[in-house]
Structure 1
Amino acid sequence: MNEIDLHHVDLNLLVVFEVLMETRSVTATADRIGRTQSAVSHSLARLREQLGDPLLVRVGGKMQPSPFAELIVEDVRPILRSIRRVIAPRTLFDPATSDRVFRIAMPTLTKVIAEVSVRVEAEAPNVKIEWLPAHHDVYAALSEGLIDLAHLGGEPRLPDGIEEQVMDPFSWVTFARRDHPACEAWGIDAWRKYPHLMVNVTRSMQNPFPVTSQGDASARRVSAMIGDSAGVASLLEKSDFLATFPAILLAWDMEVFGLRAMRPPVDLGPVLVRFFWSSRLANDAGSIWIRSIVIETYRRLHAEAERKLSGDALLQPSPNVQPPNLR
């Protein structure tokens, strides 16, 4: 037999051959692999031509293998098993036994972090999560595989190789201590008079909404900027700062820190909110697992926070009311 050029061998022919050797029937083989009888017969004819052997011939109404077919089928079967194993979906991540470290970049949403941590502890006691601030170079870190998942608001164009999940828009809520003088006459004047606290999310997105000019009636006076949202509730409790954030950030801290929620007296447009990750990790079993937990938890708590701080729960602005002086 002449040497065979593997470039011209169709591996599907070996799949047909393996099933034929089991069933010894063109009809049964066609049924098992979902092809027509003529297609199976054609595949057998091509394989006979390429291997230079009859392989299976009909004897007494049934296909009988040649000695060569009996010999090579024992080599073909492990080859096909290896190919199936190589191309099978990866299921190498087992939460119960994994000690993998996941790195997630997002604002310090304490309720989200707490509930994600509880679930991860229950499902994967040896897995660790490193929670990082969503810094300015988060996109490069994602592309390089240094971060598994990131969450940010804003609309910068994502670089190539990044996939995203767009989340529901959120409502803006202004928070202050419960006895803040602005609460006595909440409106545009109070918004402009009292100092605002702002979180520098990234270098390219320093504000949760567009900065207005000083001549604009809706301009706010930002007196303090901090690098992370952790500790905002405590700062508000002890100061005259106002802080405007999505409801999910402080909805569960209001009672503990004695805060009041108010509807901003200015029209603040929606902000695109996304989770995103590297395309290289899109089908990684561990990455899929942690993404599903974080995104599912965020989505549920976001909806809960929106319900919690809506309607009568928000102090509504009163137009044309002069706020009292700072204490």
Structure 2
Amino acid sequence: MHKIDLRRIDLNLLLLFEVLMQQGSVSKTAEQLGRTQSAVSHALGRLRQQLGDPLLVKVGGRMQPSPYALDLVQEVRPILRSIERVLSPREAFEPHTSDREFRLAVPDLAMGLFPRLISRIQRDAPQVVLQWETPRSQTLLDVAEGQVDAALLPESVKRPEGVAAEVIGQFEWACFMREDHPSLSAWGAASWAAWPHVVVGTGDQMRSPVGSAAQEAGLKRRIGLTVPTFGAVAPLLAHSDMIATLPTLVLADAMQSFGLTARRVPFKVPAMRHVLAWSARLTNDPACLWLRDCLGEVVVGQMGGAAKLLDHLT
């Protein structure tokens, strides 16, 4: 693909492209934007020429996107929303009347976290929309640019310039398994090392605290399965002889539903401090302050419940 000359790209073409991706139709796009079908077709032709890709092709009466178009719209949407926020008149944020869209980067740490968050938000701001994504390598750059409004991350992750953060708490660890797991008859370091473990491949650019702590204790974790999300762990434990060593926050809500039990980790794993991160430019933005208060309240509440579980472990 040839190099794009940004000086020749019309922002209106990207706005039109986003609507086309939503509608899948030139006529519907023209109706929504108040333009003629020929004008929309001409604009799409210009954008195709500029980007060197067909973008959308008519198949069976509907415009079908190319692979490049599917990737492009995911990048374009947050940029357009950021521009809208920057250019919108400055007004006091009123949660109960706002229809603002917020983008959060938070791991799927606990079953109850997002249900509680959405309940908290809908109580005060029923028209607000949330976009939830899991953190990735690009997340902190998106935070710095204001494309992600708030992110929950380990404190140890290096933050680029332009990202502000505050410690929200620390995650303590526990071992989880099904209630009749064979290891429970003689739980200890030998049992922990003997049975296969399920681990979550979060994609963080950091070494697993559990693996490091086990190595220091002279133990080796036998990994039986790696899964992409925390949400996959509970049902796997319920139907296998696997063990999971995770922050108590992750499975505290799921233990009863899946017939799980927990034990203390038989060696010392340092607590993992987490931070709530946001763009330094938005530190005093009323809407973002409100969002961070909501998210912080829910995460701290979840951590409080997990701490009670830890107090009762043997």
Range into which the TM-score falls when normalised by the shorter chain = 0.5 to 0.7
Counterpart position of 1:141? 142
Indicate if the aligned counterparts of 1:91 and 1:285 stay in contact, CA closer than 8 A. Answer: no
**Where do residues 211-222 of structure 1 align in structure 2 (5 Å cutoff)?**
211=212, 217-222=218-223
Cα deviations by residue, 1:45-83 (Å, 9 ceiling, x for unpaired): xxxxxxxxxxxxxxxxxxxxxxxxxxxxxxxxxxxxxxx
SS at match of 2:103: strand
Counterpart position of 2:73? none
Tell me which protein shows more helix as a share of its residues.
2
Cα deviations by residue, 1:85-133 (Å, 9 ceiling, x for unpaired): xxxxx65322112111111111112212111111111111111111111
Indicate if the aligned counterparts of 2:172 and 2:272 stay in contact, CA closer than 8 A. Answer: no
**Where do residues 258-277 of structure 1 align in structure 2 (5 Å cutoff)?**
258-277=259-278
Counterpart position of 1:257? 258
Counterpart position of 2:242? 241
SS at match of 2:114: helix
1:298 and 2:293 correspond: no
Counterpart position of 2:284? 283
TM-score where L is the length of structure 2: 0.67
Q: Distance in 2 between matches of 1:183 and 1:171?
A: 21
Indicate if the aligned counterparts of 2:237 and 2:260 stay in contact, CA closer than 8 A. Answer: yes
User: How far off its partner does 1:301 sit?
Assistant: 2.1
**Where do residues 1-327 of structure 1 align in structure 2 (5 Å cutoff)?**
91-108=91-108, 109-205=110-206, 207-211=208-212, 217-310=218-311, 313-314=312-313, 316=314
Q: Distance in 2 between matches of 1:289 and 1:115?
A: 16
How many percent of aligned residue pairs carry the same amino acid?
33
SS at match of 2:307: helix
Q: Distance in 2 between matches of 1:306 and 1:212?
A: 21
5+ residue gaps, structure 1, are 1-89, 317-327
Q: Distance in 2 between matches of 1:285 and 1:302?
A: 26
TM-score where L is the length of structure 1: 0.64
User: How far off its partner does 1:178 sit?
Assistant: 0.7
Residues 1:293 and 1:212: Cα distance change in structure 2 (over 3 Å)? closer
5+ residue gaps, structure 2, are 1-89
Q: Distance in 2 between matches of 1:101 and 1:209?
A: 37
Residues 1:293 and 1:188: Cα distance change in structure 2 (over 3 Å)? same
Q: Which amino acid aligns with 1:107?
A: P
Indicate if the aligned counterparts of 1:103 and 1:146 stay in contact, CA closer than 8 A. Answer: yes
Runs of 4+ with deviation above 4 angstroms: 212-216
User: How far off its partner does 1:206 sit?
Assistant: 5.5
Residues 1:239 and 1:265: Cα distance change in structure 2 (over 3 Å)? same
User: How far off its partner does 1:147 sit?
Assistant: 0.9
Q: Which amino acid aligns with 1:94?
A: E
Q: Distance in 2 between matches of 1:95 and 1:213?
A: 47
Indicate if the aligned counterparts of 1:199 and 1:206 stay in contact, CA closer than 8 A. Answer: no
Counterpart position of 1:4? none
Q: Distance in 1 between matches of 2:125 and 2:227?
A: 34
Structure showing greater Rg: 1
Q: Distance in 2 between matches of 1:223 and 1:115?
A: 32
Q: Distance in 1 between matches of 2:214 and 2:128?
A: 48
SS at match of 1:218: coil
Aligned length: 224
CA RMSD of aligned residues (A): 1.9
User: How far off its partner does 1:270 sit?
Assistant: 2.2
Q: Distance in 2 between matches of 1:208 and 1:201?
A: 13
Q: Distance in 1 between matches of 2:207 and 2:241?
A: 21
SS at match of 2:171: coil
User: How far off its partner does 1:214 sit?
Assistant: 7.2
Q: Distance in 1 between matches of 2:182 and 2:226?
A: 22
Indicate if the aligned counterparts of 1:133 and 1:228 stay in contact, CA closer than 8 A. Answer: no
SS at match of 1:173: strand
Q: Which amino acid aligns with 2:270?
A: G
